[in-house]
Structure 1
Amino acid sequence: MTQTAPIGRPRIPRDKANDYAESAAKARRDFIRDQTGVELKHTGSYSFDATETQGNCEHFTGVAQVPLGIAGPVLVNGEHAQGEFYVPMATAEGTLVASYNRGMRLTREAGGITVTVADDAMQRAPVFAFDNARTAKQFGAWIIDNMATIRATAEATTSIGKLRNVEHYAAARFLYLRFNFTTGDAAGQNMCGKATHAACQWILANSPFAVERFSLSGNMDTDKKPSQINFLHSRGKRVIAECTIPDQLMRDVMGIDCKSLYRRRIMSMTGAFMAGSMNNGAHAANGITATFIATGQDAANVAESCVGAAVGELTDDGSYYFSITLPSLICASYGGGTGLPSQRECLEMMDCYGQGKARKLAEIIGATVLAGEMSLAAAVATGDWVTSHEQYGRNR
């Protein structure tokens, strides 16, 4: 074990030869014990080889064990996911798994949830600054004229990424270019960053217009932030889940009639509008976060993935049609944290690990979110929301 001599304060141990060895992780647990007096007994208990974390976590020290529950089966009528699936949900919130399980029962008995992936793209949005707005406009026209070369330069950096199109947004003397890529079964942020960087280096070297300043990210991709542009143009997968619940089934399972639930939906939508919320539903972030943690997704992507539009309608026969649109659901079945042992098992449980499975996973997550929306909305309307937390949660 090698360690740089401390300057002012002790430094976290590192092993320059193999910082992902179990010995390196143990050295860091010992370091924490010496510095804080806390023995990392549970943190240091895991079943996989420490070296498997390389590329996923620096200074690997141990694991944060999150309880894992199983909900389902959820019946999905998708283009990529068809049939019943048991959904792994990692959470420390009591009642969450039970609530999603109840929603899955309701929708299953109603014939399942229809899910559609309406769009799929990942972005990087560089910005270029010029002497004035007129030059920025002319630069934009030059970009359009040279798209073939720009596309070829970007795609040369990746075996699966494809540059679909580039959007132009002008403001002041800046031109923002929003590069839209398809990224296969990977989430694709890093892939897009590398490809866009290569394209921009070609642009900077060949542009006939003097670029005063340039940034690879002008923040119009709104990475890991909710935004109106992603609501309209999508980031990741645009997933639409929908289901129709007969009135008697709603009464039997949820204890409320469809008309009453619909009236509650109107009040809820109005409140969300007044608050300026980026989601007018109940709690999409709960289902997304729990499945993200279980399956090795980048949990920070919940920030944009939980944006959504929930729509409820009464049908002519008194049934309740409900849908939720998730315009920026970012999930992967390959790469990133999906290959870690526990996370891979959770993906395999749904047959969602590996290539060709990302849209299937997105459809299952979309269906899960809808089931949770139905359950919580009914629980709030009937008063079960508080009593359920008292029974299953840690309320005291």
Structure 2
Amino acid sequence: MTLPTNTADRTPVPRDPTDDYTRDAARLRQEFLTQRSGTSLDHVGHYSLDPATLPGNIEHFFGVAQVPIGVAGPLLVNGEHAQGQFYVPLATAEGTLVASYNRGMKLLHEAGGVTTTIIEDHMQRAPSFIFPSAREARAFGAWLIERFDDIKAVAETTTRSGKLKDIEQYSASRILYTRFNYTTGDAAGQNLTGKATQAACNWIKAEYPGIEQYFLESNFATDKKTSQVNMLHTRGKRVVAEATIPDALLRSVMKSSSELMFRARQVSNLGGFMSGVNNNGAHSANGITAIFIATGQDVANVAESSAAFVHAELRPNGDYYYSITIPSLIVATYGGGTGLATQRECLELMDCYGDGKVRKLAEIIAATVLCGELSLGSAIVAEEWVKAHDAYGRNRP
């Protein structure tokens, strides 16, 4: 392979070494990019936020991506943390998405709302420890159990809101894989758990002889990747949203029926099993991504957060029970992108910004997902799916 000979011609993105988070610094990069590409940046370069608020969120800032935000609602939630009616902001460029979620919200509002329950709340970092043999790895596992309180104390010195709840263990060869499970308050917690676990691992290495090597992350937390271990053991919030819909409502609002919906659900389950999907529902990623963009979540976490288990029942009286379990919903109402101007406003629309609000947001998202699942599912069985996209999803000149 021949390496390029013009590496000296590399022109880096301009930066201001004294203060890179100003309008002047952004304008300098806009002019640089315009000169290099010939592309006008009139829209990218117009924004209302203050660049001084962006350290910790982005580097080389030069503008904004304006994603349209629609609103669906009212969403009626019967949760433990989210109670009442909510208008949900959805940032998307996909026509019909907002309309579909809005239709599902109408259906479930008339059915009495969505009941939401948070089952578990964990965020992980997953270090691995390597030993000369499997027996030594096993002995170390016993020591971890014995010294858990000491490890917990060391980890928690690095954080005000993080609490180490337990350490899972999984052995293979001469390696002990672990998962340090934390609660993280209103933050999503990936950085928090990394810092806390690093401190714990440094202490462990100093206290326990015989560790050949450890790696702070062994890919067992499966950051930003869906996985069976997180679907079973939870990463973020494990939330269940459920509702029972009278057959008459399905007929009048959705032009469907509970019997037809249940038959389609059986076919969909088999299709999902055959194809090996991580989600036997329809499109949870749609609603989750749209809310994530609107509220300043780490959008890459949709890879984990959109995994789901759908369960439905045709009740003896003809009603339709439907639930969705989201085992790895990773959200925050504090830190990260949630404090940016636009994103904060969207969180405040739902009274979900700041301390003590993260479980409320998780329940609203799960309830929204349920509405979208029922809306799309009924559109498919009523043969309205293509017509809806043709009416609302075509960007005509």
Using structure 2 for the length normalisation, give the TM-score: 0.97
The answer to whether the Cα contact below 8 Å between 1:124 and 1:192 also exists between their aligned partners in 2 is yes
Partner of 1:185: 186
**Displacement of 1:301:** 0.2
CA distance in 1, matches of 2:155, 2:227: 26
1:196-215 aligned within 5 A: 196-208=197-209, 210-215=210-215
Q: Deviations over 1:112-164 (max 9, x none)?
A: 00000110010000001111101100111111111111100000000110000
Amino acid at match of 2:18: A
Provide the secondary structure at the position in 2 that maps to 1:180: strand
Matched, 1:156 2:172: no
CA distance in 1, matches of 2:8, 2:34: 20
Matched, 1:60 2:94: no
Partner of 2:91: 90
Structure 1 gaps of 5+ residues are 1-5
CA distance in 2, matches of 1:186, 1:71: 25
Provide the secondary structure at the position in 1 that maps to 2:84: strand
Amino acid at match of 2:206: A
Provide the secondary structure at the position in 2 that maps to 1:316: coil
CA distance in 1, matches of 2:91, 2:267: 31
CA distance in 2, matches of 1:120, 1:114: 18
CA distance in 2, matches of 1:346, 1:26: 27
**Displacement of 1:166:** 0.2
Amino acid at match of 2:260: S
The answer to whether the Cα contact below 8 Å between 1:75 and 1:104 also exists between their aligned partners in 2 is yes
Partner of 1:336: 336
Q: Deviations over 1:306-334 (max 9, x none)?
A: 00000110111101000000000000111
Provide the secondary structure at the position in 2 that maps to 1:336: coil
CA distance in 2, matches of 1:365, 1:195: 28
Partner of 2:318: 318
Q: Deviations over 1:180-210 (max 9, x none)?
A: 00000000000000000000000111112x2
**Displacement of 1:236:** 0.2
CA distance in 2, matches of 1:261, 1:206: 59
Partner of 2:228: 228
1:92-171 aligned within 5 A: 92-171=93-172
The answer to whether the Cα contact below 8 Å between 1:102 and 1:375 also exists between their aligned partners in 2 is yes
RMSD between superposed Cα atoms in Å = 0.9
CA distance in 2, matches of 1:114, 1:254: 20
Partner of 2:358: 358
Amino acid at match of 2:170: Y
Partner of 1:3: none
Q: Deviations over 1:52-86 (max 9, x none)?
A: 11110111110011000000010000000000000
Provide the secondary structure at the position in 1 that maps to 2:374: helix
CA distance in 1, matches of 2:316, 2:205: 59
1:193-342 aligned within 5 A: 193-208=194-209, 210-342=210-342
Amino acid at match of 2:232: L
Q: Deviations over 1:244-268 (max 9, x none)?
A: 1001111010001110111000000
Amino acid at match of 2:25: A
Equivalent pairs counted in the alignment come to 390
Provide the secondary structure at the position in 1 that maps to 2:343: helix
Provide the secondary structure at the position in 1 that maps to 2:105: helix
Amino acid at match of 1:43: V
**Displacement of 1:213:** 2.1
The answer to whether the Cα contact below 8 Å between 1:389 and 1:395 also exists between their aligned partners in 2 is no
CA distance in 2, matches of 1:36, 1:314: 59
Provide the secondary structure at the position in 2 that maps to 1:66: coil
Amino acid at match of 2:364: I
User: Which ranges of 4 or more aligned residues in structure 1 deviate by more than 3 Å?
Assistant: none
The answer to whether the Cα contact below 8 Å between 1:127 and 1:215 also exists between their aligned partners in 2 is yes
Partner of 2:388: 388
Using structure 1 for the length normalisation, give the TM-score: 0.97
**Displacement of 1:7:** 3.8
CA distance in 2, matches of 1:228, 1:326: 13
Matched, 1:37 2:50: no
Provide the secondary structure at the position in 1 that maps to 2:338: helix
The answer to whether the Cα contact below 8 Å between 1:250 and 1:257 also exists between their aligned partners in 2 is yes
The answer to whether the Cα contact below 8 Å between 1:86 and 1:350 also exists between their aligned partners in 2 is yes
Provide the secondary structure at the position in 2 that maps to 1:337: coil
Provide the secondary structure at the position in 1 that maps to 2:239: strand
Q: Percent identity?
A: 61
Amino acid at match of 1:334: Y
**Displacement of 1:383:** 1.2
**Displacement of 1:395:** 6.7
Amino acid at match of 1:393: G
The answer to whether the Cα contact below 8 Å between 1:293 and 1:299 also exists between their aligned partners in 2 is yes
Provide the secondary structure at the position in 2 that maps to 1:83: strand
Provide the secondary structure at the position in 1 that maps to 2:325: strand
Provide the secondary structure at the position in 2 that maps to 1:386: helix
Q: Deviations over 1:158-182 (max 9, x none)?
A: 0110000000100001001100000
Provide the secondary structure at the position in 2 that maps to 1:338: coil
Structure 2 gaps of 5+ residues are 1-6
CA distance in 2, matches of 1:55, 1:22: 17
Q: Deviations over 1:262-319 (max 9, x none)?
A: 1000000110011111000000000000000000000000000000000110111101
Amino acid at match of 1:394: R
Partner of 1:51: 52
